[in-house]
Structure 1
Amino acid sequence: MAEQQTAESLTGVVDQLEDKAAEDGDLLVGDALEEFAGRLFGPLLMIPGLLVMTPVGGIPFVPTTMGVFIILVAGQSLFGRKHPWLPGIIKERGVDEEKFKDSMEKVRPWLKWVDSFTAERMTSMVTGPMKYVIAAVCILMACTMPPLELLPFACAIPGAAILFLGLAVTARDGLLAVFGLVASVGALGAVGYWMFS
């Protein structure tokens, strides 16, 4: 998993995606991949994690598409690919610019709040072997999304864990990675309860 050393903010990533959506009239999965490929792989995990937590996540098949995107990106990152490959059917999935912008505006105050306490610290939790642990956990979380799509907005739980882990890598914040890993355990517990109770 190649990564550059510059940390990025959550609102900064969203701003770049909004600019891309405004330029093209919509935001395709392939556009997001193009925007961040070769940089920190964190944004490529944050984006789908964030989307399934917003009203966009209520659109049929969006959570499953995001789950497949996460599995492919994180899986290839485990093998050190700088530019993840995605099949055309995934790259061509997307959301309308207005829907994306409206969803982001609703969560922007929360994004700014999250950015206010992120910092570059405990970097050993987001570098070295931990990069692979984080990628593996994100894959596990993504695998829960297709079955959870049957429950309205249930994918927001693993989505939140993936968002925290992606943001941890993006901001190089090891403390946030710890929170993300704890959230992942909670997400697995919730998923297990829903699926087997």
Structure 2
Amino acid sequence: MFHPVPDLAMPANSQPSSLQEMLERMETAGNGNAQQVSVNELMNAVGYRSFGPLLLLIALIAISPLGGIPGVPTLFALCTIAIAGQLLVNQKHLWLPGFVLRRSVEQDKLAAFLDRLRPVARRIDAIARPRLVQLIRGPGLKIAALCCILVALTVPPLEVVPFAAAISWLAIGAFGLAVILQDGVIALVALIISLGGVLTAVNGVL
């Protein structure tokens, strides 16, 4: 059964304005003392109506320790399809299955994972800026959502090949990042990576 992702901590339209802020929100998700952080808490932290942050969040979860559990990458691929599909039909509230929202990762492992990402985040934030924004607004945003759906479809067949699905998650995460930073150049890079993910999936199946 699908449930709306609740927003308990911040305004519905609040979303991170940089990759570093995104990581900071993920680190402070939960009550601070919990040993586990749920997907619901992470999504609440980044803003449940924020298409870009949610896409990036799912991609980060998929390559985190939680993504190493068999079946989880495919599960989050379905979540990507659900979120992108809801954008295509102009859904205002994003809905996800309750059993997905209850999934959790250990706080210590999450913190260590985020620490590894911080140097990359600083570099990306330093070079990214609003440009070619038409690629990630209006019709361009829906094209990006459709690309994410197509790329997410490559994840299940790639899950049996170690690390192969990482290309697909990199593409999906890049699309999410492009929306957050309003950087159409990153969207173009994401499109190129998407083609690589699709080719990898085709070669893996054949």
- Matches of 2:48 and 2:63, distance apart in 1: 23
Alignment of 1:6-155 (within 5 A): 8-21=17-30, 23=32, 24-35=34-45, 36-38=47-49, 40-155=50-165
TM-score, with normalisation over the residues of structure 2? 0.85
CA RMSD of aligned residues (A): 2.0
Inter-CA distance 88–55: structure 2 relative to 1 (3 Å threshold): closer
5+ long unaligned stretches in structure 2: 1-11
1:142-177 per-position Cα deviation (integer Å, ceiling 9, x unaligned): 122122111222221100000111000011101111
SS in 1 for 2:58: helix
- Matches of 2:183 and 2:13, distance apart in 1: 14
In the alignment, residue 131 of structure 2 is paired with which amino acid?
A: R
- Matches of 2:42 and 2:82, distance apart in 1: 14
Structure having the larger proportion of residues in helix: 1
1:97-156 per-position Cα deviation (integer Å, ceiling 9, x unaligned): 111111111222112212221111111010010111101111111122122111222221
- Matches of 1:53 and 1:161, distance apart in 2: 12
Which segment is superposed worse, 60-69 or 136-145?
A: 60-69
| Superposition deviation, residue 33 in structure 1 | 2.9
Runs ≥4 residues deviating over 4 A: 3-7
Instruction: Report the equivalent of 2:5.
Output: none
Percent identity for Structure 1 against Structure 2: 34
- Matches of 1:21 and 1:153, distance apart in 2: 29
- Matches of 2:39 and 2:122, distance apart in 1: 24
TM-score, with normalisation over the residues of structure 1? 0.89
